[in-house]
Amino acid sequence: MVKDYIHYSNCWEDTDILITAFDLKDNVQKNYLSIASAGDNTFAILSFNPSLVLAVDFNLAQIALVELKKIVIQKLDYEQALEFLGIKKSNNRLELFKTLEKYLSYGSYNFFLKNNKIILNGVIHAGKFEKYFNIFRKYILRWFLDYDKVDRFMEDINLRRDFFYKKVNSKLGRFIFRVFFSNEIMGLIGRNKNFFKYSKVNLSQEILDRIEAGLIFTETKENSYLEYILKGNFEKNLPYYLKPNVFYKLKNILNDNPEKLIIYHGSLYDALESFKSIKFDGFNLSDVFEYMATNDYLRHLQKIKEVANKKAILLYWNMLVDRFQNIDGIVNLFDLASNLFKNNQSFFYRRLVIQQIE
């Protein structure tokens, strides 16, 4: 059993890819299922005002985080929200929380009551994965890149080439990165070690390959994921759901039609069974299949097929484990996935999988 702490306080799958793959348009009456994680991409889907978004997570801490973010969007003004979440400096997060706590479920309230440092420090910095990047930034990155050069680094391809090929790809650089991004170290201080159960690849080499692809072969100037890794915050590039126009759309939707977002604590399979009366048009599945045996993965695909409308889209990611099998009635959209993946801003993943129900 995975302990209930916040694994991810931000979503690390490219939101723009999700929006394009789902062909999201405002006010189209469709239903979506989304792995909750930190909520960012769930809120991105909801911002288009579909009929329903079902957010699913087996981890109570992630559920509490999504619930709190929802209430922040509903109850705080924009500047207060940026302060409370941790994007802007603030000395009154605990005071703001006191205005929000009455709207939380009992379980979520208790979680934050027992972990008030999460509130004090800003909830977007609370995840184990984000803390891993903080360690990386403080103790590893500082030897390779001056902080005052980060903005120019994100804009200048020549700086990024020098950084990767002359520093990271040096003998010493590769050694340091291989140690820090090893299965053992990442399992200890980055991701839950159970998440590596089905992985058979060299994690550190995979990360080095992905860093090269992300820095050299994609545009990084407006990359919010890279900015957080390098700076420890979103200073110039906000997550999609926190862009002003999106935030206010969400505020209206959540206040006028709160029933459009259902937050479900439980496994993906249980959610599919519990909401089998609903036909879904899109499934945002993160990298959930990496944590399953192949037979279990295929069992989930069969269950998804039962609750999906025709032409429904499945979108998920492979980081360390290959999961992209065809089954009868579900086809891979390889060309679409390949074309979108070329511009992937969140470069941890080796593969984007997009499938469609026939």
DSSP result, 255-292? HH-GGGEEEEES-HHHHHHHTTTSPEEEEE-TTGGGGS
Q: In terms of Cα–Cα distance, which of 211, 244, 241 is closest to 226?
A: 211
Instruction: Output the pLDDT for position 1.
Output: 38
Is the entire prediction scored with pTM above 0.85?
A: yes
Instruction: Output the pLDDT for position 91.
Output: 96
CATH 3.40.250.10, domain 15-127+242-357, yes or no: no
Instruction: Output the pLDDT for position 188.
Output: 64
CATH 3.40.50.150 domain locations along the chain: 15-127+242-357
Q: Which long-range contacts (CB under 8 A, 24 or more apart) does 130-139 make?
A: 130/8, 130/9, 130/10, 130/228, 131/189, 132/186, 132/189, 132/190, 132/191, 133/228, 133/229, 133/232, 134/232, 135/189, 136/180, 136/229, 137/229, 137/230, 137/231, 137/232
Look-up: residue for tokens 């969007």?
73
Instruction: Output the pLDDT for position 275.
Output: 98
C-alpha to C-alpha distance for 123 and 113, rounded to whole angstroms: 13
Per-residue pLDDT of the chain (358 residues; tens, 9 = 90+): 345 899 999 999 999 999 999 999 999 999 999 999 999 999 999 999 999 999 999 999 999 999 999 999 999 999 999 999 999 999 999 999 999 999 999 999 999 999 999 999 999 999 999 999 999 899 888 888 988 899 999 999 999 999 999 998 899 988 988 888 776 666 665 455 555 565 566 777 888 888 888 899 889 999 999 999 999 999 999 999 999 999 999 999 999 999 999 999 999 999 999 999 999 999 999 999 998 999 999 999 999 999 999 999 999 999 888 999 989 999 999 999 999 999 999 988 999 999 999 9
Strand order in the sheet with 330-332: 261-265, 52-57, 31-35, 280-284, 308-318, 351-357, 330-332
Instruction: Output the pLDDT for position 238.
Output: 98
Instruction: Output the pLDDT for position 193.
Output: 55
